[in-house]
Structures are given as structure tokens and as C-alpha cells.
Amino acid sequence: MNRAPKSVWHRPAHFLAFGFGSGAVPFAPGTFGTFAAIPCYWLLSELPLGWYMLVVAVAFIWGIWLCDKTSRDLGVHDHSGIVWDEFVGYWLTMAAVPFSWEAAIWGFVVFRVFDVFKPWPIRWADRRVAGGFGIMIDDVLASVYGWSTMHLWFWLH
């Protein structure tokens, strides 16, 4: 476990990479980061799908830079407190899912399961892709599994 640096609270890039500070908790920062992404999803879910996806795409591209900069500044590749990737992964998991608190919580659980257990090719990407893109891409891959699971769930219900 890596302790959150003080820079999280006074450097804007670090504050965002640490998910508005949610990644600074001393245990399970990825879980807290994903949880912190739920209110943002609630707001984003009001957008038409095209705008939603544009916002998430910008958050992904910006996240590559945020995560890379913060990681380099801290001297730790993929510091456990960097959770911007969880925000983007959760938002992608929830793409085109109509907002309800039940769906938001199920999406949280589904995304966390795939992000933690990292089925192929997530684990492969997590181990072999470096830099900010590497930090972001394993969560995007987890979101593909999460999105598929959420939409299968909606289709069956």
C-alpha cells in the first residue's frame, strides 16, 4: 500500500488523478474511487448517449496525461491512490444504462469484480502496458466486461 502524498491536496493534476481525493483513503482506494464516480455518473446519465460518450472519451484521453504525470511526479508507476482510471472504467461500464440507484450499485459491483480479478486480457495489459495509457487501459478493458454484463442483465430483466 502506498500512502497518499500531500501533493494530492495542492496539485490539481494529482487531486484529479486521485479521484477528487477519494484515492487518498488508506485502504481499498480503487473501491472508494469507483464509489466516488457514482455521483458523476448520475449527472452524466442525463446527457444524450453521444454527449455521454464524448465526455468519457475526453476523460479517458485526459486521464492518460493525468495518470502519467501523477505517476511520474510520485515516482511510482500506478500508485494505488491513482483512481481516475476507475472513474472512466465505471462510466464506460454504465454507458447506455438508464440511471437508477439499483443499476448504479450493480454497475459498481460488476466493474469492481472485473477490475480486481482481471480476466484475460486485462491482467496481460495491466502487466505489459506502461505509462498513463497502461494505467487507463486495464480499467477500460474491465469496463468492456462490465458493460457487457450490465446490458445482459438488462436484457434478461
How far apart (Å, rounded) are the C-alpha atoms in residues 64 and 140?
12
The reply to whether 40 falls in a domain is yes
The reply to whether 130 falls in a domain is yes
How far apart (Å, rounded) are the C-alpha atoms in residues 111 and 34?
8
The reply to whether 1 falls in a domain is no
Domain tally, the chain: 1
The pLDDT confidence band at residue 2, using thresholds 50, 70 and 90, is low
- Cβ neighbors of 114 (< 8 A, separation 6 or more) are 122, 142, 143, 145, 146, 149
The reply to whether 88 falls in a domain is yes
- Pair 102, 38: CB distance under 8 Å: no
Q: What is the pLDDT of residue 64?
A: 98
pLDDT digits (tens, 9 = 90+) for 51-95: 999 999 999 999 999 999 999 998 888 888 999 999 999 999 999
User: Is the pLDDT reported for residue 154 higher than 90?
Assistant: no
Range of the domain at 109: 6-156
